[in-house]
Structure 1
Amino acid sequence: MAKAKCYKCEEKCGKGKISLEELQKLEMAYKAFLRTDSKSLVKKYLTRDVFDRLKYKRTTFGSTLLDCVQSGFENPDSNIGIYAADPSAYVVFADIFNPIIQDYHIGFKKSDHHPATDWGSLDKIGNLDPKGQYVVSTRVRCGRSIEGYPFNPSLTESQYWDIENKMISVLNGLEGELKGTYYPLNGMTKETQEKLIEDHFLFKEGDRFLQAANACRYWPVGRGIYHNQTKTFLVWVNEEDHIRIISLQPGGDLGAVYKRFVSGVADIEKKVKVIKSDRLGYLNFCPTNLGTAIRASVHIKIPKLASNMTRLNEIADRYHLQVRGTAGEHTEAKGGVYDISNKRRLGLTEAEAIQEMYNGIVEIIKLEKSS
């Protein structure tokens, strides 16, 4: 069996075939999954031929195909159904990741390469809703993964601690508007935790999709949240990705949010080495967060458009936007407030991703006004 290439050095690597017990477990899970009516991308592209080519492989971190697809197998209602158990999984299991990436990221082929980082002119992005009639809040976030570590399903307990300690050192060095405090989940009072979750600042323990992916082991070890004094700049540690960098504030001033975000990312990346692939850009746990890994979103009140969700989703698709519930994926809208964000993150620059979101939200507000 030919060994797969590493995501970074392109040299042959891997740890050989999986055990008979692992193979039997994978076969049983796959056969059961085929009997479901799943509409996920993993169901669409994990044909028997692809499965047979990949079932024996193991990554440099020891991950198997089951480590990547087990969440989709256990949750047939998944939209994607696959996570990367570690950075090299994108190469070792490329036969399943590549078609899913091409489908989700709207035509990004296996021969394509993500462009170089380009934040654009920070002064060109303005306020989405100057009169404050529609946009409740605006946020820009990205995921980053730290060199030398697998992703959540393969992290050891000591690696969780190690990543947290690295990030505490980095975050304690932030200054100016970004200066703040780190709060570890381990030892956090229930009252503090519930308040931060209620304010949409703190992540909850993983949902069933992350649980099934083995992404919530050793909870709450190594997890925590950093925020500045005004709670307009946050960093999540070891939630879904190693780190999530977030800039947010009430209202629709995307320009101010984006400037703060770029400043925070730049300061953090000066002090910690993150994983970036020449082809796929920044590598993260979920293939939807490749490339720029940027998700720019608004919480927005659009009662007229939302009265016809089919039409709203058609408009969103036209501008490469994604409509989700108030608390994000797999949630419902509360009080008529929807979370709308850019869908494309791969194959375009950071500046283009932000501009695409800006144009789409401006158009949605225009249509809401005229409805």
Structure 2
Amino acid sequence: MAYWYNDNLGKNNIAVSTRVRIARNLNGIPFSSKMTLKDREQLNQTVKNALFPSDIADKFKLKFIKMSDVPENERFAMTERHTISRQFAEDSNGKAIVISEDERISIMLGEEDHIRIQVISSGKKIEEMFSIANEIDDYFCSNCDVAYNKNLGFLTECPTNLGTGLRVSVMLHLPLLEGYGKLPYLQEWVNKNGFTIRGTYGEGSRADSSLYQLSNQITLGISEEQILKSLGTIIDKIVGDESSLRQGLNKQKLEDDCFRSLYLLKGARIISSREMMALLSKVMIGINTGIIPEKSANPISILINCQPYMLICKYGVDDTVERDVKRGKYLGENINI
């Protein structure tokens, strides 16, 4: 299956992925925190009736799934693939999802808001991902009674999402900006421009493999076009700064670090998730700078596929040591030297 993380970015791997989320709610149904099981069933049925059958469901190969039918391990593997939020995975009661076959489109029903449209792709593809999300949003607005106020815009459970209800994030690989202690200054700068930097899995998470999510904070009093344009400009500046720092590295030491990491990953028989991600970060630098051939590895694919719940679902192993063994096996099979 052509999941987003299996795309090989090659040298262009500083901007790792783009995710667009749009929050919408329906009139006549309480916000998610106040919903009863009956309300959730009403929401699910309303969306299901609106989408199936439809041209847009056929176009994007969408299917409706009750989250109670998805095993717990698979739900958490979906969070590791960035398909659903952790909050959505933890409580499946009465919740449902509309999802494409490749999981690049997922519509969570009953998360923080009634409808959370998400479109995700590899690389920096801000306009393209927004275009798809916007097309789906237009369909909902035309076929469902979406909550809207002429002064506040689209109504959302959390006031910080009022207005457009749009959150756009780009995941960035920033080991040099991190290593040189530039991130606090970067955070201050992006905050002044209405954006924020978070960890790999969003708010409250750490930055594994020096992967950070940059996203907009402001949704009210600003247009979608302004959000997209500002984000694109900021991303280009950050990518340029990270690239400049890489160009100043000692080439011989960089080659040693990158190839040492590649061979350690290839030869590992037992390896933890934390160690793997630290080594993959150096391999990503090696590929980006042309030191390591692109065909040697697809670091983001490896990183996602070797997350704990992904390994549990793939190999059926729940024990931590056994997972570390299977992670080593996967690395040996998917790194080419």
Output the amino acid matched with 1:352: Q
Output the amino acid matched with 2:150: D
Query: For residues 195 and 345 of structure 1, what CA distance do their matches in structure 2 show?
Result: 30
Output the amino acid matched with 2:62: G
Query: For residues 215 and 199 of structure 2, what CA distance do their matches in structure 1 show?
Result: 11
Task: Name the residue aligned to 2:135.
Answer: 263
Q: Is the 8 A contact 1:306 1:312 kept in 2?
A: no
Task: Name the residue aligned to 2:213.
Answer: 339
Q: Is the 8 A contact 1:325 1:333 kept in 2?
A: yes
Output the amino acid matched with 1:231: E
- The alignment status of 1:163 with 2:43, answered yes or no, reads yes
TM-score by length of 1: 0.59
Query: For residues 341 and 274 of structure 1, what CA distance do their matches in structure 2 show?
Result: 25
Query: For residues 178 and 49 of structure 2, what CA distance do their matches in structure 1 show?
Result: 44
- Structure 2: segments with no counterpart, 5+ residues: 1-8, 246-337
Structure 2 CA distance for partners of 1:318 and 1:305, relative to 1, 3 Å: farther
Query: For residues 130 and 179 of structure 1, what CA distance do their matches in structure 2 show?
Result: 28
The counterpart of 1:132, out of the listed 12, 34, 54, is 12
- The alignment status of 1:141 with 2:21, answered yes or no, reads yes
Structure 2 CA distance for partners of 1:153 and 1:262, relative to 1, 3 Å: closer
The counterpart of 1:279, out of the listed 138, 148, 151, is 151
Computed over aligned residues only, the root mean square deviation of the Cα atoms, in angstroms, reads: 2.1
Query: For residues 278 and 269 of structure 1, what CA distance do their matches in structure 2 show?
Result: 15
4+ residue segments displaced more than 6 Å: none
Query: For residues 274 and 156 of structure 1, what CA distance do their matches in structure 2 show?
Result: 19
Task: Name the residue aligned to 1:310.
Answer: 184
- Structure 1: segments with no counterpart, 5+ residues: 1-128, 208-215
| 1:281 positional shift | 0.9
Output the amino acid matched with 1:278: K
| 1:138 positional shift | 0.4
Q: Is the 8 A contact 2:30 2:39 kept in 1?
A: no
The counterpart of 1:227, out of the listed 88, 92, 99, is 99
Query: For residues 86 and 191 of structure 2, what CA distance do their matches in structure 1 show?
Result: 29
More helix by share: 2
Question: For 2:143, what is the secondary structure of its paired residue?
Answer: coil
Aligned residues: 233
TM-score by length of 2: 0.65
- The alignment status of 1:245 with 2:117, answered yes or no, reads yes
- The alignment status of 1:194 with 2:79, answered yes or no, reads no
- The alignment status of 1:357 with 2:231, answered yes or no, reads yes
- The alignment status of 1:185 with 2:67, answered yes or no, reads yes
Query: For residues 209 and 97 of structure 2, what CA distance do their matches in structure 1 show?
Result: 27
Identity of aligned residues (%): 26
Query: After the TM superposition, which residues 65-214 of structure 1 pair with which residues of structure 2 at under 5 Å, given as runs?
Result: 132-172=12-52, 173=54, 174-205=56-87
Task: Name the residue aligned to 2:249.
Answer: none
